[in-house]
Structure 1
Amino acid sequence: MRIKITSCLILMYVLLSNTAIAQDAVSKSLLVDIQNAQQRLNKLEENIANETRSLAEEIQKQQNQVLSLRQKVAVKRRVLDDQTLALSKIESRVNEWQRQENYQQNMLIDIAQRNGLSGEQLASMTTGLGDSQSYLTTLAIQQRNSLNLDWTEQRILLSNGQYQNAKVLQAGPVKWFLLPQSKQTGLLDSENKVQLNFNADISQQLLSLFETKRGLITFDPTLGNVVKKQQQQESPAQHLLRGGVWVIPIIGFGFFALMIGIAKSVQLYRLPKLQPMLAERIELLQASANASDQLSNLSKNLKGAQKQLVEITLDCSVGEKRDNRLLAFLLEYRQRLQSNLGAVAITASVAPLIGLLGTVSGMIETFKMMSLFGTGDPTIVSGGISKALITTELGLVVAIPALVIHALLNRFIRNHNTQLDATAIKLGKVSTQNPPANELQEQAA
C-alpha cells in the first residue's frame, strides 16, 4: 500500500515538473514574439511619420497653388465684370454724374443771385457747366471790384410796407441802407427789404462812414438767420393757440388737477401729527391712581383721527363692538382722505389721450392740405403739423405733473393710514379697568 502511494506521489511530481518546464518555454516564446512585434510596430510608426510629413508638405504646396489660382480667378472675374457691365449700371452712373452737374449748376446760380447777375445771365448759366465758366470769371471780376465800397441810390421796402429811395452800401451778400432825411439806418436782405433797423449809436457810425468815408459798420454774420429766428419766437399764448381746439380740454383737465392737488396738499398739510406709542401710553396711565382723569386729559390733548380712536377705545370695552367701531371710523376716515384724489389720476391718463386725438386731427388736416395744394410749400402743411405736435406736447406736460402729484399724495395718505391702522389694532386690545358709562347704563337697563 505504501509502495503504491509513493509511486503515485512520484508520478505526480514528474507531471508537475514537466508542466512547469512547458509553461516556462511558452512564456519565453511569447516574450520573444512580443519583442519582435514591438520592433515591427516602431518601424511602422516611423514609416507612417515620414509619409505624413511628406504628405503634409505636398498638401501645403497644393493649397498654395489653389490660393494663387483663386487670386488669379478673382482678378479675371473683376476684369470680366468690368467688360460685361450691364446697361442699367451705366445708366445709374450717368444719372449720378447728371445729379452732380445739376448740384454744381444750382450752386453757381445761387452764387450768381447773391451777386446780382441779370436774368439773362442766370438763364444762360443753366445751359451747361461749360457755359457757366465764363460767368465765373465775370463774378470774380465783380467781387474784386466790390472791394471798393460805394454808396448807390436804390429803391428799398421799409418795415411799414412803403417803398423809398435810400443810399445803399453793399459788401458781398451784406447790404446797409441809409435814409439821409430821417437818418434811419439798418440792414437789407437780398430783395432790398429792411431786415433790421439800427439803434442810434450804430446809426451814427454808419452816418460817419457815409460822410467821412471812415467809421465802424455792424453786420449780421448769419445773413439774417438770427433775425428770422427772433421773428419766429412766439408767446406761450400764441404757442397754445396753434394747437387748435383740442388745447382747451387739455388745459381744463390740467387746471382741474392742479386745483385738486393744491386742495389735497393743504388738507394733508393741516393734518395733526400722529403721536407714537399711543396704546402703550394708555396702558401706563390706566395703572396710575387717577387713571380716568389722566385718560381724559390725554384725549383732550389729542387731535384728529387719533382723538376719535381714543374716544372709541374709552367708550367701548374690549370686544367685537369696539373693533367694529374702530373699523368703521378707519374706513370713513380713509375715504375722506382719498376723496377727489382719483380725479388727478384720471387727468394723468386722459390728457395724453386727448393729445393723441389732437395729433390724429392735425395729421388729417395736413394730409388734406397736401392733397389740395401739394407738398411744394411747407407753410401750407405747417398748421396741421403744429396742431399735431403741440397737442401731444401739451398732453404730456399736463399728464406728467399730474402723475407725480397723484403718486406723492397717494403715498402720503397710504403711510398715514397704515400708522392709524397699526394704532387702531393696538387700541383694540387695550382693556379698561372700569367699564364705560354707556355700558353700565345698558347693563342697568
Structure 2
Amino acid sequence: MKLRRFFCLFLSVACLGGIAQAQDDAASLQEVAQRREAQLADALERLRTLRNDIEAQQIPLAQRLQDLDAQIRERQREVERRQRIRDNQSVELDTLRQRVSDRQRELDYISRTLLPEYFANYDASLSAGERATAGEDVRQYNLFLEKPDTSETDRLQHSLALLRDSWAQLESRLGGKRYAGEALDPEGRVISGRFVQTGPLLYFAADQGELAGLAEETTALNATVTPLSTSQNAHIVEVAQAGRGTLPVDPSLGNALAIEQTRDSLTEHLEKGGIWVYPILLFALAATLVAILKIFQVYRIRHPQPMAIHDIVKALRAGQRDEAMRLARSQPEPAREMLVAAVEHSDESVEMVEEVMYESMLSTQPRLERFLNVIAVTASAAPLLGLLGTVTGIIKTFRLMTVFGAGDPKPLISGISEALITTELGLVLAIPALVLHAMLSRKVAGVMARLEKASVAFLNGLSRKSLNQKAS
C-alpha cells in the first residue's frame, strides 16, 4: 500500500516536471518557427528574384543554344563532307595506283613482248631487196636492246621510232615502190639493178643487160632472179625504169612457178628411174607391139552368117558339091578353112567330119592365141621389175645417208626417185597390159565359140542329110 502511494507520488512529481519542461520547449519552438518563417520568406524572395533572372536570361540562352546546335550540325555536316572527300580521295588514289600498276604492266608487256614479236614478224616479212635498208634498222634496234644500260624510256623511244618506220614501210608496199639493190642471176652472179615491189610481189630488173624477172628469196643473202617470158620481162623493165606499166602477177606467190620448174620432161623423168627403167621399157615396147598386132588380127575377124551355113548344107543335100565348096571358100577366115575341110570330107561319116572340123579349130586357136603370153608375162613381170628398182633405189639411198647423213635431203633425191619411178612405171605398164590381155583373151574365146557354133550347125545339117539318104 505504501509502495503504491510512493509510486503515485513519483508519477505526480514527474508529470509536474514534464509540464514545466513542455512549457519551456513550446516557447523555444515558437522562436524557432519565427526564425524559420523569416528564413523562408527570405528564401522565397531570393527564389522569386532568381526566377525572374532566369526568365530574363532563358530566351537569349535558348537562342544561343539553338545557334550552338546549328553550328554543331553544320560542323558535323562539314566533318561528314570532309570525311567523304577523304574517303573518295583515298579510293581514287587506290584506283589511280591500280591503274598506274595496270598501265605499267601493259607497257611492260607491249615493250618487252608485243613489240619484239611484231618486229620479228616485220623482219621476217621483209623482202630480199628490203633487207639492206629496213632489215638493217631492225638489226640495229636489236643490238640497242642488248645493251645492259638501256633505260626503259630509251627502249620505248627506239621502239616507237622503229614502229613508225615499219608502218611507213608497210604502207609504201600497198601502192608499189621502186628501190635500188642487188640480186643474183640464175648463174649465181651478183647483178645491180632496181627492185619493183607491190604488196608481196617482188620483181627485179638489171641496170645493164636484159636480166629481169621475179625476185625470189633463197638461203643466200641476195634474192635470186627467175626470168619469165620475153614479153613479161620487158614489162618488168619498163616499170622499173619508168615507174609505170603492167606487171605480171602470180596469185600463188611463186608456188605455181616453183611447181612448173619441178616438172620434168618424159626423158628426164625416165632417166631419174635408174638402170631398171630400161628392162621395163623393153617389156612395154614388146607388149605394145604384140597388143597392136593382136588387136589388128583378132578384131578384124568376121564370122559366117547362119544362112551361109544353111546354104552350104543345102547345096550338099542337093548334091551340088562344087557350089557348096564355092560357098565355103567365100566365107571369112578362120571359118573358111574349117568349112572347106568339112565340105571336102562331106562324103564321109559325120564323126569323121566332126573330127576334121575339130582339128581345124585346134589349128586355128594357137594362131589366135600366139604372143598373148608376151602381154601376160609383161603384166606379171613389170611390177616385179618396179619393185626391184624400188629396192635398188632404197639401198642407194641408205648408202648416200651413210656418206652425207640425213640432214641434207638433196643427195638422197636420186635414190628416192629411182625407188619411186620404177614402181610407177611398172604399175603404169602392168595395168594396161593386164587389161589388154584379158580383153584379147576374151575376144579369142569368143571367136572360138563362134567357130564351135558354126561347126555344130554344119554337123546338125549334115546329120539330117545322112538320115535322109538312109531313109531313101
Same fold flag (TM > 0.5): yes
* 1:260–1:344 contact (8 Å) kept in structure 2: yes
**Equivalent residue of 1:376, what SS?**
coil
- The offset of 1:403, in angstroms, is 1.2
Counterpart amino acid of residue 169 in structure 2: N
Matched with 1:112 is 123
Structure 1 position 266 matched with structure 2 position 293: no
- The offset of 1:170, in angstroms, is 4.2
- The offset of 1:249, in angstroms, is 0.8
Give the gaps of 5 or more residues in structure 2.
1-114, 147-151, 467-472
Matched with 1:301 is 330
Matched with 1:207 is 238
**Equivalent residue of 2:368, what SS?**
helix
Q: Residues 295-334 of structure 1: matches in 2 within 5 Å?
A: 295-316=324-345, 317-334=348-365
Distance 1:303 1:184 in 2: 70
Structure 1 position 389 matched with structure 2 position 416: no
Distance 1:230 1:386 in 2: 18
Q: Residues 368-383 of structure 1: matches in 2 within 5 Å?
A: 368-383=399-414
Distance 1:189 1:300 in 2: 76
Matched with 1:226 is 256
* 2:309–2:457 contact (8 Å) kept in structure 1: yes
* 1:187–1:196 contact (8 Å) kept in structure 2: yes
Q: Residues 22-421 of structure 1: matches in 2 within 5 Å?
A: 109=120, 111-115=122-126, 116=131, 117-118=135-136, 138=162, 141-145=165-169, 147-148=171-172, 151-170=178-197, 173-182=200-209, 184-190=211-217, 191-197=222-228, 199-200=230-231, 203-204=234-235, 207=238, 210-211=241-242, 213-288=243-318, 291-316=320-345, 317-421=348-452
Distance 2:179 2:329 in 1: 94
Counterpart amino acid of residue 357 in structure 2: L
Does 156-165 or 247-256 show the bigger shift?
156-165
* 2:389–2:423 contact (8 Å) kept in structure 1: yes
Does 239-248 or 138-147 show the bigger shift?
138-147
Counterpart amino acid of residue 255 in structure 2: N
Matched with 1:54 is none
Does 228-237 or 422-431 show the bigger shift?
422-431
Q: Do the aligned partners of residues 334 and 192 (structure 1) sit closer, same or farther apart at CA in structure 2, a change above 3 Å counting?
A: same
Q: Do the aligned partners of residues 253 and 197 (structure 1) sit closer, same or farther apart at CA in structure 2, a change above 3 Å counting?
A: closer
- The offset of 1:338, in angstroms, is 0.8
- The offset of 1:416, in angstroms, is 0.8
Distance 2:187 2:166 in 1: 33
- The offset of 1:271, in angstroms, is 2.9
Q: Which has the higher contact order (CA 8 A, sep 6+)?
A: 1
Q: Do the aligned partners of residues 188 and 326 (structure 1) sit closer, same or farther apart at CA in structure 2, a change above 3 Å counting?
A: same
* 2:185–2:211 contact (8 Å) kept in structure 1: no
- The offset of 1:343, in angstroms, is 1.1
Structure number with larger C-alpha Rg:
2
Distance 2:277 2:307 in 1: 51
Q: Do the aligned partners of residues 407 and 155 (structure 1) sit closer, same or farther apart at CA in structure 2, a change above 3 Å counting?
A: same
Counterpart amino acid of residue 183 in structure 2: I
Distance 2:403 2:373 in 1: 45
* 1:206–1:216 contact (8 Å) kept in structure 2: no
* 2:236–2:247 contact (8 Å) kept in structure 1: yes
* 2:325–2:343 contact (8 Å) kept in structure 1: no
Counterpart amino acid of residue 168 in structure 2: R
**Equivalent residue of 2:406, what SS?**
coil
Q: What TM-score, normalized to structure 2?
A: 0.60
Give the gaps of 5 or more residues in structure 1.
1-103, 435-445
Matched with 2:57 is none
Q: State the identity %.
A: 29
Q: Do the aligned partners of residues 167 and 296 (structure 1) sit closer, same or farther apart at CA in structure 2, a change above 3 Å counting?
A: closer
